[in-house]
Structure 1
Amino acid sequence: MDRWKTLSKKTLLTSELFEVTQTKFKLPNGKIKVREDVIRKPTVCVFPVDGQNIYLISEYRELWDERMLHAVAGFVDKKGETILDTAKRELMEEAGLQASQWEEISRYRLAASVIKGTTSLFLARDLEFSKQNLMDDEKIKVVKLSLKDAVSKVLTGEISDSATMVGILMIEKLRRQKKI
């Protein structure tokens, strides 16, 4: 493996959820390369499933200036909180749901380069409904869909959030294999 040698590294920006770094490398061919990367805190994405139905959320996403349909999600950003703790907290806060059965179905990298971060996908079952505990800037609607309709929305582009797309297609594959 041809590793790049790190010559220097500095942090350009630190925020609550990520940092931007600039690293100077010496390549195996002797050339020098400088690149910037985003290092993101881990995230979770939760897929509550009840029989052949899945619960997603619909909310306005300011970055895209549109209402989006996607899975419950959030950053692992509370001190001492595990990835599963974060998934449980986010499900309760955003959807007003609790689950007694949890399974991490995937943990994947966001990209091969430029953005370093992982997302853990959780299947949540045996659901109990409660009340949402939204933050001041959140206005979230819980949407119940058949898994078939959710897959269709992924394939037509109506669901375009990558973690939600990956999770729905994985759950459909697991369902077909009779693993869920």
Structure 2
Amino acid sequence: MHYPEENPWTIISEKQVYDNQWIGLTEYQVINPSGNLGIYGKVRFKNTAIGVLPLDDDMNTYLVGQYRFPLSQYSWEIPEGGGPLGTDPLDSAKRELLEETGLKADNWTELQRMHLSNSVSDELCIIYLARVLRQFDAEPEDTEQLIIKKIPFDEAYRMVTDGRITDAITVAAVLRLKLMIVENEL
């Protein structure tokens, strides 16, 4: 069976349910693809999610550890954050790397773009590889209590494959870089 790629949803009405400086939540009254009435909630993000995988000349990377309030658990991740929509995401990546690790990089490569939860949100994530690293002082935000850990990239890969790292951005970045290494694309 062939389905067209056009939008099969019809929006009857919409109302904003919640809004703050980071997200907005809209509830839609819809006619779904099968022709039935329904509702759909959409979280609209006001920032582009940014991930940075720093990699030094000795194939070490830097992970950031922090307690994640929504999960009620501690998480090891690559440096991450967000940048306002309409701004250069690379500038946001450079800022996040410096804020969280104190690192600056001379070489930047976009690894991938991905949607983080396309069933309920429009959040776009851009992940960068940062190379040729130089150390400065970290400048964390007041909402961040961070621990920085420098480890061999292969250890980060093991942490992803054995489930110690569950953050989606970090998992995607590490697996993408591992594939680049295996295919001699680094």
The interval holding the TM-score normalised by the smaller chain is over 0.9
* Mapped partners of 1:28, 1:47: distance in 2: 39
> What residue in structure 2 maps to residue 15 of structure 1?
20
> What residue in structure 2 maps to residue 171 of structure 1?
177
Aligned partners of 1:17 and 1:75 also within 8 Å:
no
Aligned pairs for 1:24-173 (under 5 A) are 24-40=29-45, 41-51=47-57, 52-77=59-84, 81-173=87-179
After superposing the two structures, state which structure 1 stretch, 2-11 or 26-35, moved more: 26-35
Aligned partners of 2:116 and 2:168 also within 8 Å:
no
After superposing the two structures, state which structure 1 stretch, 168-177 or 34-43, moved more: 34-43
The alignment partner of 1:114 has SS state of coil
Deviations 1:128-164 (A, max 9, x none): 1000011223221221111111111111111111110
In structure 2, the CA distance between the partners of 1:30 and 1:139, relative to structure 1 (3 Å rule), is closer
* Mapped partners of 1:84, 1:138: distance in 2: 21
After superposing the two structures, state which structure 1 stretch, 165-174 or 60-69, moved more: 60-69
User: Do residues 3 (structure 1) and 24 (structure 2) align?
Assistant: no
* Mapped partners of 1:65, 1:164: distance in 2: 18
Aligned partners of 2:112 and 2:127 also within 8 Å:
yes
1:114, distance to aligned residue in structure 2 (A)? 1.1
1:28, distance to aligned residue in structure 2 (A)? 4.7
1:29, distance to aligned residue in structure 2 (A)? 4.2
In structure 2, the CA distance between the partners of 1:20 and 1:147, relative to structure 1 (3 Å rule), is same
With normalisation by structure 2, the TM-score equals 0.90
With normalisation by structure 1, the TM-score equals 0.92
1:30, distance to aligned residue in structure 2 (A)? 3.3
Q: Output the aligned Cα RMSD.
A: 1.6
